[in-house]
Each structure stands twice: as structure tokens, then as C-alpha cells.
Chain A
Amino acid sequence: MKVGDLSVYIDMSLLKPFSKLPALNAATILLVEREERFQQNLADALVGDTTVTVNVRLAKSLPLPMDNEESRPRIDLVVFIINLTSELSLKSAEASLKYLDPGYFLGKVCFLATNARNTSVPTERLDAMRKLAASLHCPLLFAEDQTPDGVNSATERLLTVLKVAAGLVPTATALYLSSLTRCTIPPDIDQPSFE
């Protein structure tokens, strides 16, 4: 195989933010969740928004199948839903990240962590999650997936980010928003805490 062939192959599997034209007054969000539980509730709530047409694509992991390439609209925001009680959930999201074009990391990716308050979550995993989000300059949102209220508030926050990322909000851009909302970690995160 020649180098040229390989690069074509890699390009095909990468998801790109600007390879397609946007649709009028529409925004598309891609929800990636390994367990495929929360994403369905979230999707139902997201399409309920009346001001813009929200298209939701659901996936278990990246890369997305090539067959849907034609029918897939331009994806404005990629959300990785991570269930913090499961190590696999985090690992799967990490593995999926490399199928995103670097252009997405200029404000079009966000992480949504669930179950963060669960006592069975080791603090190391939460720290790993925060470090991952911080190193990619992405916002990290926390959500409650068990209650309707939790789903609604997560939906609202995602819609706000999505509208900006889709260019539907005048005077704001994804890059501008992300520089304000991205996850930062305190410098002493690796220090043992003395209480």
C-alpha cells in the first residue's frame, strides 16, 4: 500500500466539522455513549426544542459507519457521554477521540459525565476525566441521568452550546465560547490533599 492510499483511508474515517454545508436553521448533535442508555432520553428531550431544528445522531463509539456518510448532515457538536461508574465508558470515549478531526477541538466537542456523585466512583477516575477534558480544551459538563429534571437541565446546557457551535447565535463562535467554558484543572490536582 502506498502512503497516499493510507492517507485517503485515514481521512475517510475521520469525522470533519466543515466537510459539508450547513442546513438552514438546523443544528446537528452527535451523542456518543458506550452504554446507549442516557443518549436516548437526551435525544428525545433535545429534539423538543422549537426554535431550531435539532438533528440528533446516536452512536456507541467512533468511527461512524461509512454507509451513513451520505445521509449524515454536518455535525456541529460531538458530545461524549461518560458514565463515571464504569471504567470502560471512559476508555471507550478515549479510544473514540482519535477519529475526530482536530478542527472539532476548537469548541465543537464536549464531555458529559454522569453518576459523578456516586460513591463507588474512584476519585482517580474523576481526575482522569478532568485531565482529559482539560488537555483537549473541552468543556466538561456534569449531568444527572436518573431524573427528568436532570435530563432537562442537561438538555438546556447542551442546546446552548449546540446553538453557538452551529453558528446560530450572532456574535458568538464555538471557539470563543469554549475559551470561556473549557475545563481547567487546579495546578495541585496531583498533590495529595491534607485534611
Chain B
Amino acid sequence: MPALVKRMERCPLCGAEFDAEGQGCRPSCPMATGCKVICCPSCRYSFPQETGLAGRLKAFLERRRTHP
């Protein structure tokens, strides 16, 4: 099953905010295991969840924004 982190995400296409849980690839996709691509429930736009290195970079940038 998709390896998505449960958290709120904002769709870069339509701006909808939604819970990432259950919004990953469907089991029918042979690449679903470990897949981090999220599908927006509002407009269906797909984008990878920013976890791993990207998540760490995001957290670092947010820390710098908060405490410059």
C-alpha cells in the first residue's frame, strides 16, 4: 500500500487542503507499494508527498522562516 504520512496537504493545482491518508495510489497500480504520490480528492491532481529528504528540507526552510 502507499507509504504516505498522515498529515494535511495542500494541492498545488487547486489549493484544496485535505488529509493525505487514503489519497495515495490505488492497489491496482503495480507501483503502489511504497509509492508517495498523492491524488487530490478535489481535482485529482497527483504530486509526490514531501517526505524524506524533501520533507527535511521543507522543515529546515520553515524553521528559517519562523526564526530567521
A pairs with B? no
